[in-house]
A and B are shown apart, each in its own frame.
Chain A
Amino acid sequence: MGNPRSESNKGDQVKFQEELKDNIRKALPELDVVIGWCGSFDPLHATPHFMRREEDIDKLEISPLSVHNLATYLPGLRGKKVGIVVKGCDSRSVVELLQENLINREDITIFGFPCTGVVDQSKIKKALGGHTGNIEFCDMSESVIVIKSEDKAYTLPMAEMLADKCSSCRYPDAVISDYFAGEKIGNKGEEDADYAAVETFENLSVPERFGYWLKEFDRCIRCYACRNACPLCVCRDHCAAESRDPHWLSQENNVRDKLMFQVIHAYHLAGRCTECGECQRACPVDIPVLMFKQKMNKEIRDTFQYEAGVDPEATPPLLSFKMKEENITEKVW
């Protein structure tokens, strides 16, 4: 996260990682599985790691590459005793799942840690000239990320490589946890979320906005990675996108249906989305699909002063009403 904060160095990172492993070692005998991250196909990628045996814990790695929101797996593991390692943003998805009774609190063990932000792979790709196919080496500290690719070394400022959600993060520490390794950074939930990008986009003209989305969604392949990576797309195998009755979307390769699906996705997340950004990260053709959800959240905040994924006991605004709505001004004819 880009906020200036105490220069914790790599030593601290290693220390809390050991503490986290100890926590997991203590809890694992009572659990079926603990989900974390480990190294992947090259030094620049991590992958979700399912720890079932004690020796699996050694492979656990927490780093700015731990991008995946592991809360996505929780509803599918209902009925099992599951441990989950969460970044601050991931923990908000857990809160949301608890709020909606999609997981049982007593079955879930939450491992928190102080998150200093995760990278945006597409920013790194750009910094490396559009190619990250041959990464030979990658090392990270709080301030820089050092990459060797095609015999060339790059030293990139970490702050510029972080995901956008991280540079304006208000919840670096898990908002809910059973174990917390390392020192908390301090959540700032009272501060307003940053929607400057949405506002800038809305200042464009109508044809510019409409044309932008048509151009972006043209390359959508309808793989629905955005939906399946979303921790709150809980309909799973029963999505409106693939239903023939009601027939929301046609099977034609039509930009209208691709755009419509994103509106459906955003609206079905109204008051539920925690902006973890997994939809956008998962997109194999890099379509900026997160903006619709940010806009939805902005409206929910402005109208109902509500933020999702903070309080497991809260009632989402669209599941309640007031006789007199303070912030809704109806049209006078």
Chain B
Amino acid sequence: MPVLTGKELRIVGFLCNWCSYGGADTAGIGRFNQPTDLRIIKVPCSGRIDPLFVVKALMNGADGVLVSGCHPRDCHYAEGNFYARRRLEIMHNFLPIIGYEPERFEYTWVSASEGQRWQQVVTSFTEQIHKLGPAPKILGPEASDTLSLMQAAL
């Protein structure tokens, strides 16, 4: 999509199969306008998400990562999202030490019927990432590949 080059950032979304993926579908069926930066990966449950997926995505070039699951008490597997909440909250707060703004990663809950909420989440998260701009990138196998360019940019 050359039209969007430079305008779009790369956001990875991990959505649970039972609620949020359905919610995104509902938003689509309802023809709600949404920014197109997000790429969705469907997972069985937010509890399936290894928080390291978030870091792996960022290190491989994502500018933002969004996780969305069922609302607390609504998990298809009863308690997957309760565990997810603890793990993801810790990862969210851990990110700054590596050198990523914590706002590059958010987790939230969207049910299958909440098409409108989905639209709102995607829109405001995309805005949030655009405000931050592109994430720091690793540009080659050696540190100097990246550092020389980082210094040039500063």
Q: Which positions in A face B, CB cutoff 8 Å?
A: 198, 201-202, 206-215, 217-218, 248, 252-256, 259-260, 263-264, 266-267, 270, 291-292, 295-296, 299-300, 302-304, 317-318, 321-323, 325, 328, 330-331, 333
> Binary interface profile of B, 84-123, with partner A (CB < 8 Å = 1, else 0)?
0111011101101111110000111100000001001100
Judged by a CB distance under 8 angstroms, whether B29 is at the interface is no
In the bound assembly, the distance between CA atoms of A213 and B73 in angstroms comes to: 40
> Binary interface profile of B, 32-61, with partner A (CB < 8 Å = 1, else 0)?
000000000000000000011001100110
Q: Which positions in B face A, CB cutoff 8 Å?
A: 51-52, 55-56, 59-60, 72-73, 79, 82-83, 85-87, 89-91, 93-94, 96-101, 106-109, 117, 120-121, 124, 136, 138, 141-144, 146-147, 150, 153-154
Q: Contacts A198-B97, A214-B143, A323-B72; is A207 near B108 (CB within 8 Å)?
A: no
In the bound assembly, the distance between CA atoms of A333 and B106 in angstroms comes to: 11
In the bound assembly, the distance between CA atoms of A330 and B82 in angstroms comes to: 12
In the bound assembly, the distance between CA atoms of A26 and B146 in angstroms comes to: 60
**Interchain CB contact under 8 A, B98 and A213:** yes
**Interchain CB contact under 8 A, A218 and B90:** no
Chain B, Cβ-Cβ closest to A208: B99
**Interchain CB contact under 8 A, A318 and B52:** no
- Which chain A positions have C-beta within 8 A of B87? 270, 318
Q: Contacts A207-B150, A321-B82; is A259 near B98 (CB within 8 Å)?
A: yes
23 sample A-B contacts, Cβ–Cβ < 8 Å, listed by A number: A206-B100, A207-B153, A207-B154, A209-B96, A214-B143, A214-B147, A215-B143, A215-B147, A217-B143, A218-B142, A248-B56, A254-B138, A256-B59, A256-B138, A264-B52, A267-B91, A299-B93, A321-B82, A325-B85, A325-B86, A328-B86, A331-B106, A333-B108
- Which chain A positions have C-beta within 8 A of B107? 331
Q: Contacts A299-B90, A318-B87; is A206 near B101 (CB within 8 Å)?
A: yes
Q: Contacts A299-B90, A318-B83, A325-B85; is A207 near B136 (CB within 8 Å)?
A: yes
Main secondary structure of the interface of A (DSSP, over half): helix
12 extra A-B contacts, CB within 8 A, seeds A206-B136, A300-B90: A207-B136, A210-B136, A211-B150, A217-B143, A254-B138, A259-B59, A263-B55, A270-B87, A304-B86, A321-B85, A330-B109, A331-B106
In the bound assembly, the distance between CA atoms of A292 and B100 in angstroms comes to: 13
In the bound assembly, the distance between CA atoms of A50 and B120 in angstroms comes to: 63
In the bound assembly, the distance between CA atoms of A251 and B15 in angstroms comes to: 30
**Interchain CB contact under 8 A, B142 and A255:** yes
In the bound assembly, the distance between CA atoms of A321 and B83 in angstroms comes to: 6
In the bound assembly, the distance between CA atoms of A116 and B51 in angstroms comes to: 38
Please count the residue pairs between chain A and chain B whose beta carbons lie under 8 angstroms apart in the complex. Answer: 120
- Which chain A positions have C-beta within 8 A of B72? 323
Q: Contacts A214-B138, A255-B138, A323-B82; is A303 near B59 (CB within 8 Å)?
A: no
In the bound assembly, the distance between CA atoms of A304 and B106 in angstroms comes to: 20
**Interchain CB contact under 8 A, A214 and B141:** no
**Interchain CB contact under 8 A, B90 and A201:** no
Closest 5 CB pairs of A and B: A210-B99, A218-B143, A209-B99, A321-B82, A214-B143
- Which chain B positions have C-beta within 8 A of A259? 59, 98, 138
- Which chain B positions have C-beta within 8 A of A317? 86
In the bound assembly, the distance between CA atoms of A323 and B85 in angstroms comes to: 10
- Which chain A positions have C-beta within 8 A of B82? 321-323
**Interchain CB contact under 8 A, B143 and A255:** yes
- Which chain A positions have C-beta within 8 A of B101? 206
- Which chain A positions have C-beta within 8 A of B90? 270, 296, 299-300, 303, 318
In the bound assembly, the distance between CA atoms of A248 and B56 in angstroms comes to: 8
B141 nearest CB across to chain A (Å): 4
- Which chain A positions have C-beta within 8 A of B52? 248, 263-264, 267
In the bound assembly, the distance between CA atoms of A256 and B139 in angstroms comes to: 9
B19 nearest CB across to chain A (Å): 15
- Which chain A positions have C-beta within 8 A of B120? 333
Q: Contacts A207-B150, A317-B86, A323-B72; is A333 near B121 (CB within 8 Å)?
A: yes
- Which chain B positions have C-beta within 8 A of A260? 55-56, 59
Chain A, Cβ-Cβ closest to B121: A333
**Interchain CB contact under 8 A, A252 and B99:** no
In the bound assembly, the distance between CA atoms of A270 and B99 in angstroms comes to: 19
**Interchain CB contact under 8 A, A254 and B86:** no
Among A215, A296, A321, max chain B CB count under 10 A is at A321
